[in-house]
Structure 1
């Protein structure tokens, strides 16, 4: 299967992101009004293009001539910022189109997010813009900001405090979080932004559009995405593929993950909150870092903005105290960071000068380093030069508050960070000059150890294959539709082998058929439409001789006659590790493939992994190896390893089937798929497909 195609940039977005002129419709002299703030921010921000205020009751605002209407503007604006009430927005779009304008930002709230009446207003606005060829950002948008050009087409009050230019781009479906996290809090931590965009209700321009544009800006070091949900999962996946193709990292803060949060998200934007486990799978599959909270989000942005991001999960822990070393090591382990064992420095001078120090990992340099601060550079050089080390946390407590130590430590730390290009974070306290010098070099200082380790964990790449992933819940119960089971269903899943099955109608035939299949056998009642035959008493296993088979056959025949439906099927009993394959349809992203260990692992431990088609063999293998129960497939406790490659084949085949039958095949349950230790023996034992009404054709 082909990979996800990147999303091209729509040419009509150019005037939105790079306008040469901006009209402010609803400009005002009253500072509390939205139109006043937009106009003031454009003027004070130094926007280089034309600024065209529209206000029929004013002649001049902020030294600029006002115009009574959009149609009276002396030039066609590239971009119009609509700082008018929701009830006036559609009329403003019509007037803009009449003047020849083709791009607008609607700042007003009171649309779909406010209820049914607002939804009607939004539909009218979107329809009018579409019919007149006007590109629309919003409504309910906090606008767009570009520090490089002074484009502050927003009413967000953080702009009044002075933006901090930088290389971070933020796309946020929450205008409040865009201004607070994306601008104000980042500024307080020394993180500057280049772009902030709020697509609002996404009546036209959506998150995917914004990602595709910003990912292609070579001056953007990282994109921070704050999202409540996506309306078009396919476009978002293509936009993430664009970011990957441009080597632009994306950090996502997904809000609305709890039941209450999902309700709040729905009422706020009308977006589908979607299934959180599916969002997690999508982001992992596209190499996107998902921050657990705002702290991790900011920490990841800061490291990316500094240009030093861990290329693996190996951490060197430095400390001046055994207790601090232990604390940092525990925190790293809890966050699944590796602490590789290190050899001692090749130069014995450090060990001789610091006899109490431990040159392992964690590296406990003890307080003796305070009397020989000059040795720190050599130790750092040795450790950071190791290929298994990708980042370092330096637990210096309050030692950097002493200037005679910081004057030696800080330059050494800065030099080593620059030489090796690996992220360093200091946990402890430092004097103001030291902290400023470190910040200028992109080296954060965190007073608390947990914040330092969280920052490293947030920016580190995803855990390698074979590590346990986060627990996920199993798919929702089957949806309504046409159900198909047994060999007929299995035949539609090309590439997934199905165990040999024989229909038996008479008890005297059963033993002969079983002998041909090979003892022991399994007898089951097929064709009843039940998803869980075992729980319904419709499956008999471990039938090792004719007598046991006869008892089982007669019991199933009685159940068949009682129901008036079904047929008795015999299968050879397949030996191996039971797994489960599933397919569900997510309302946002479409088909989702699931793989997990069967039995208690899926029912109780919920040990499953998800991926979105198209899945290649490498992606399928990563999903399988992320299972907590993977060692059972890999030969745990001396058992013979199962043929994992045959399970990989089955996952890819199910992914292919999902795309081949997209829109028709709603769910699939291949349970169990038995993975044998004998090549060529792995097979599906039971298959249930749920089709859209009307069946597969």
Structure 2
């Protein structure tokens, strides 16, 4: 099956009429738990236990095999790995639409026997047109039908909503469900995809994109999906109005691998993923708490009416902590509109109507005035939501005055029609009580921590059309640098690469080559750059093999001698020298195209030999739409004349075409010179396909 067929097979099991549980038992934890979940959440279809050693399970007739059982739309497999392939084959033979594999110990072990077993099961499912979810996952949930085909306890009552979550980890799916329940947010579907080799994130997004039940999708990505499938699925979902939030793990590993090129050192998985998520309009979140908070905000309150976040606190210290935490997350706390500032000045002792707002103790003395101020702020046209931090944490009945103040805030939020997230700086004993108490209360979302509140509010507010886009992740100097010696790279020399690029219409400097000791009697150009061509040396400047601004034969001979000495000192050969016309002055940028685990990636940023240390680059998945390319280049190369920016975009298209035509796996241009007359590739490294 291709991606579209797999997505279609998923759609068939989102509303299963019957579910068979292979391995159903009173003692088998996973088989028993699936049956308990189906009963607890009142599954409206037929449950078919399958176990050759039992006559009944939980009062239901048990069948010895799938072949002897009634037909099932969905088969849940909770058996040991030794029987896995046989069960998949049997499910395919009886025409099951899908199979959820709770079985573990297969490809994730990296043992050839079990990798082969999983691949065989995948091939069987593909041939039969059967969706294979897992193995090494915990299952799927379709809330509308009570179809909790899930192998971990889900004791929480979750309302039917328009949110779907897709994650590799079943444990994290469970944690997300618990939080959504506590927040009073609903659920449409949830999936733990496990190894995800058969049905992955992209297929799930494509299937959910067509669902009228789904408004938003929450992802937790342990690895970045292949770009071609992922980008197509996400674009389809976005075109259908779906909002997508994602948490990507692996930030600490960004770029931390040895590489012989700048591109290899820069394109760490997290850094690349961050750029690709932004390219596709996915809102990236920084924590699991932030992910479920963003989903709860969207589920309960829809899209934000503004992009500004208002902050209230009863302590100057708290205001400072909140402001710092917001700045760390690139959440702007912008001033209120003049009319709002005028309206709240004097209420509850407010003298400086700033954002964030330090109320001191006046809110408790004049609670009604404070509530009026909250309502005025929420009615500010730029404000999308507010954060309220009570001075003593989330208040319960033991703090009646503080509790009353929170009730007034809730009433003000309901009247204004915008949400208030009430939270705290430290955990208190009544946290769960207060969070649960506001799960169905008007426009208040009670959140256990400030950090999770802001981690969710930032991405949610950025879905507003007027929101400022956050800065892309920049790999730190330590993370982006090389670990140990650079790997050997077999690549054509610079002159050959640029000659090849020129055949594709790409502008490069005029150049000639010659052997050391065969110095030309005159310079071929008014001013030249001399470069030493040594096989395997990709960064010539660092090896002392570049001399700039040579304007005489005498200076040329001096540069040749210095290069010969540098090469001898490093023990590297110097078979040829390259003389290039000196390019006009201008701005240098770094531009590369490379094959990464997720697909073809474009990297663009400030050029120079220290590009890794500065890390000022962004990443673009390729192919990309013209709008995505224009936005990407505009963000990464600011302050450039529009005509030159358009030439850079055209150069990127030309380089991508050359990259594909020549079969390269990496093409790095550093620098590309942007000057008054156009753009030009001054240096290039290419690695051919192997």
* TM-score (ref. length: structure 2): 0.83
Aligned partner (choices 673, 683, 696) of residue 680 of structure 2: 683
Q: Decide which moves more: 34-43 or 475-484.
A: 475-484
Provide the residue aligned with 1:514 in structure 2. Answer: 525
Provide the residue aligned with 2:172 in structure 1. Answer: 177
**Alignment pair present for 1:78 and 2:73:** yes
The verdict on how the C-alpha distance between 1:221 and 1:417 changes in structure 2, with shifts beyond 3 A counting, is: farther
Tell me the distance in 2 between the aligned counterparts of 1:524 and 1:580.
19
Q: Secondary structure at the match of 1:444?
A: strand
- The aligned runs of 1:237-316 (5 Å cut-off) are 237-258=231-252, 275-310=269-304, 314-316=308-310
Tell me the distance in 1 between the aligned counterparts of 2:612 and 2:315.
46
1:20–1:49 Cα contact (<8 Å) kept:
yes
Tell me the distance in 1 between the aligned counterparts of 2:491 and 2:609.
28
Cα drift, residue 616 of structure 1 = 5.1
Aligned partner (choices 33, 40, 59) of residue 63 of structure 1: 59
1:106–1:139 Cα contact (<8 Å) kept:
yes
1:25–1:55 Cα contact (<8 Å) kept:
yes
2:43–2:145 Cα contact (<8 Å) kept:
yes
Provide the residue aligned with 2:644 in structure 1. Answer: 646
Provide the residue aligned with 2:462 in structure 1. Answer: 461
Q: Decide which moves more: 590-599 or 416-425.
A: 416-425
Cα deviation 1:572-593 (Å, max 9, x = unaligned): 2431222221222102x22111
Q: Secondary structure at the match of 2:90?
A: helix
Aligned partner (choices 559, 565, 570) of residue 552 of structure 1: 559
Unaligned runs of 5+ in 1: 1-5, 264-272, 635-641
Q: Decide which moves more: 129-138 or 324-333.
A: 129-138
Provide the residue aligned with 1:270 in structure 2. Answer: none
Tell me the distance in 1 between the aligned counterparts of 2:340 and 2:600.
55
Provide the residue aligned with 1:524 in structure 2. Answer: 531
2:41–2:148 Cα contact (<8 Å) kept:
yes
1:478–1:690 Cα contact (<8 Å) kept:
no
1:252–1:288 Cα contact (<8 Å) kept:
yes
Q: Secondary structure at the match of 1:80?
A: strand
Cα deviation 1:11-40 (Å, max 9, x = unaligned): 322332221112222322x24443233233
Provide the residue aligned with 1:45 in structure 2. Answer: 41
Tell me the distance in 1 between the aligned counterparts of 2:410 and 2:222.
40
Provide the residue aligned with 1:17 in structure 2. Answer: 14
2:271–2:473 Cα contact (<8 Å) kept:
no
Provide the residue aligned with 1:269 in structure 2. Answer: none
Aligned partner (choices 451, 454, 471) of residue 475 of structure 2: 471
* Equivalences, count: 656
* TM-score (ref. length: structure 1): 0.82
Tell me the distance in 2 between the aligned counterparts of 1:434 and 1:469.
32
Cα deviation 1:197-238 (Å, max 9, x = unaligned): 122223422222122222333333432222322564422222
The verdict on how the C-alpha distance between 1:140 and 1:9 changes in structure 2, with shifts beyond 3 A counting, is: closer
Cα deviation 1:431-452 (Å, max 9, x = unaligned): 9689724753352234654444
Tell me the distance in 2 between the aligned counterparts of 1:671 and 1:546.
27
Tell me the distance in 2 between the aligned counterparts of 1:345 and 1:236.
46
Tell me the distance in 2 between the aligned counterparts of 1:438 and 1:41.
23
1:469–1:626 Cα contact (<8 Å) kept:
no
Cα drift, residue 682 of structure 1 = 3.3
Tell me the distance in 2 between the aligned counterparts of 1:315 and 1:329.
11
- The aligned runs of 1:396-407 (5 Å cut-off) are 396-398=390-392, 403=400, 407=404
1:86–1:108 Cα contact (<8 Å) kept:
yes
Tell me the distance in 1 between the aligned counterparts of 2:415 and 2:237.
26
Tell me the distance in 2 between the aligned counterparts of 1:232 and 1:331.
34
2:227–2:621 Cα contact (<8 Å) kept:
no
**Alignment pair present for 1:613 and 2:622:** yes
Provide the residue aligned with 2:508 in structure 1. Answer: 498
1:522–1:542 Cα contact (<8 Å) kept:
yes
**Alignment pair present for 1:227 and 2:221:** yes
Tell me the distance in 2 between the aligned counterparts of 1:361 and 1:260.
35
Aligned partner (choices 31, 36, 48) of residue 35 of structure 1: 31
Provide the residue aligned with 1:145 in structure 2. Answer: 141
Unaligned runs of 5+ in 2: 258-266
Tell me the distance in 2 between the aligned counterparts of 1:315 and 1:152.
37
Tell me the distance in 2 between the aligned counterparts of 1:468 and 1:135.
36
- The aligned runs of 1:358-437 (5 Å cut-off) are 358-398=352-392, 403=400, 407=404, 410-411=407-408, 413-416=410-413, 419-421=416-418, 424-427=421-424, 436-437=437-438
1:42–1:150 Cα contact (<8 Å) kept:
yes
Aligned partner (choices 191, 200, 204) of residue 198 of structure 2: 204
Q: Secondary structure at the match of 2:322?
A: helix
Tell me the distance in 1 between the aligned counterparts of 2:513 and 2:335.
60
Q: Decide which moves more: 666-675 or 293-302.
A: 293-302
The verdict on how the C-alpha distance between 1:616 and 1:648 changes in structure 2, with shifts beyond 3 A counting, is: farther
Q: Secondary structure at the match of 2:387?
A: strand
Aligned partner (choices 588, 591, 598) of residue 578 of structure 1: 588
Provide the residue aligned with 2:263 in structure 1. Answer: none
1:138–1:200 Cα contact (<8 Å) kept:
yes
Cα drift, residue 652 of structure 1 = 5.4
1:582–1:667 Cα contact (<8 Å) kept:
yes
Tell me the distance in 2 between the aligned counterparts of 1:535 and 1:346.
58
**Alignment pair present for 1:566 and 2:600:** no
Tell me the distance in 1 between the aligned counterparts of 2:268 and 2:168.
15
Cα deviation 1:250-300 (Å, max 9, x = unaligned): 22223355569999xxxxxxxxx9822222222111121222222222222
Tell me the distance in 2 between the aligned counterparts of 1:626 and 1:260.
21
**Alignment pair present for 1:594 and 2:603:** yes
Cα deviation 1:363-406 (Å, max 9, x = unaligned): 33342233433334543344334344333222332496555675
1:507–1:554 Cα contact (<8 Å) kept:
no
1:646–1:682 Cα contact (<8 Å) kept:
yes
Provide the residue aligned with 2:262 in structure 1. Answer: none
Aligned partner (choices 655, 658, 669) of residue 656 of structure 2: 658
Tell me the distance in 2 between the aligned counterparts of 1:411 and 1:355.
17
Tell me the distance in 2 between the aligned counterparts of 1:207 and 1:153.
18
**Alignment pair present for 1:105 and 2:117:** no
The verdict on how the C-alpha distance between 1:15 and 1:367 changes in structure 2, with shifts beyond 3 A counting, is: same
Tell me the distance in 2 between the aligned counterparts of 1:591 and 1:108.
33
Tell me the distance in 1 between the aligned counterparts of 2:331 and 2:357.
16
Tell me the distance in 1 between the aligned counterparts of 2:103 and 2:672.
54
